[in-house]
Amino acid sequence: MKILQIIYESYGSPFGFGGAGVRAYEIYKRLNKHHDITLLCMKYPGACDGDIGGLRHVFVGTESKGLAKSVLAYTLKAASFVWKYGNDYDVIVENFLPSTPFCSGLFTRTPVVLQVQGVMERQALSKFPLPYGLPMFLVERAYPSWYSRFIFVSPVTKHKVMARVTGRVDYCAVVPNGVDARLLETTPVDGDYILFFSRIDSHTKGLDLLMSAFTGLGERFPEVRLVLAGYEFDRVSSLLEKVPPRLRNRIGYAGFVSGTEKTALLSGARVVVLPSRHESQPVSLLEAAACAKPVLVSDIPELAFVTGNNFGLSFPSGSAPGLQERLDQILGDATLRRQLGAAGRIYASQFLWDDLAQQFENALQLTGNAKE
């Protein structure tokens, strides 16, 4: 098959590389041996079309350093690309973000699959100023009804989105995120740090809550550090301003990590924390579980699989005292950490990228046949 994947993330982009990008690279590098794959990504200063990591990349948009201008240009030029070349492909996969409504299904006869990572719902209204948040909220609610073929990352997101889809549905599948099998072979170390491993986004990821909770626990666990890792959407320096000066030297920023550096960081954490206000199915949590690490998450529905499979604890979403209480519990109980870590490794072993790539390929083949 000739596959076009529309995804703004690409490795090396200054605008970030997160779970959606990891998923695309992990799946397509496995399918690339048997299929002709093109990633249509957002342009950034210095971006050049060509092979990256064994995958063909085409960059469209502008070389602006501003995110808003880059997103707008990417949305328009990606739609234009589909208009011009969409019929050359057997199937198009469009990653859905309410800020980038490509409307690609309107511009080609090629079957288009809408891949939905997660939804913001009313969080868009509280995170962004109303002139930005309201259009995103409305697009997120209405846009999926323009499509008839879907791939979701989690069943929770599928249920939320499909409850509002009013049109015909030809295909709907859940293909979750996964882990590299090699993570299951790592040796966990009960280190001296709490690890946050996701985008540095204070509101969405609940980092304001984590800073407050860590401040409250500082005296009780003087040996414990906090390590932040991930793309810096919000400045780490701004987060540190909310922490008393005596604790700031116990908070470190590892930057965006990958490969062996990522594996070492996950394997050495005492606990991995993700206090998000909204999520999908974070790759970082599955990777932490694969490394036999206990995790602590907010109790939003998308993260209920953590407590439902007994490899982590949860706290009431938005509650800094609740997060602090659970952190206190897990940091002070080595036996609990070992039990949760062991359960996490068993759970993560069910989600290997090799198997999930096959599921994804099967879904695209069913969709691609619709063109014939």
Tens digits of residue pLDDT in 128-137 = 888 888 988 9
Ramachandran assignment for 61, one of left (phi > 0), alpha (psi -120 to 50 degrees), beta (any other): left
**What separation in angstroms does the CA of 65 have from each of 133, 255, 278?**
22, 19, 27
**Structural domains in the chain plus CATH codes:** 2-178+352-371 (3.40.50.2000), 181-348 (3.40.50.2000)
For residue 185, count CB atoms less than 10 angstroms from its CB and return exposed for 0-12, middle for 13-18, buried for 19 or more. Answer: exposed
Model confidence pLDDT, tens digit, residues 337-371: 999 999 999 999 999 999 999 999 999 988 766 55
Helices 320-331/207-217 angle, 10° precision: 50
Q: Considering the entire predicted model, what is its pTM?
A: 0.92
Q: At 214, is the secondary structure helix, strand, or coil?
A: helix
Q: Could you tell me which of 181, 188, 40 has the C-alpha nearest to residue 100?
A: 40
- Token look-up 């759970």 returns 347
Q: What is the mean pLDDT of each run of 10 residues along the chain (372 residues)?
A: 95 86 95 95 94 92 90 95 96 93 92 92 84 88 94 95 93 96 96 96 94 93 96 91 91 93 96 94 95 97 96 97 97 97 98 97 80 52
**What separation in angstroms does the CA of 365 have from each of 31, 35, 71, 162, 358?**
12, 11, 30, 22, 10
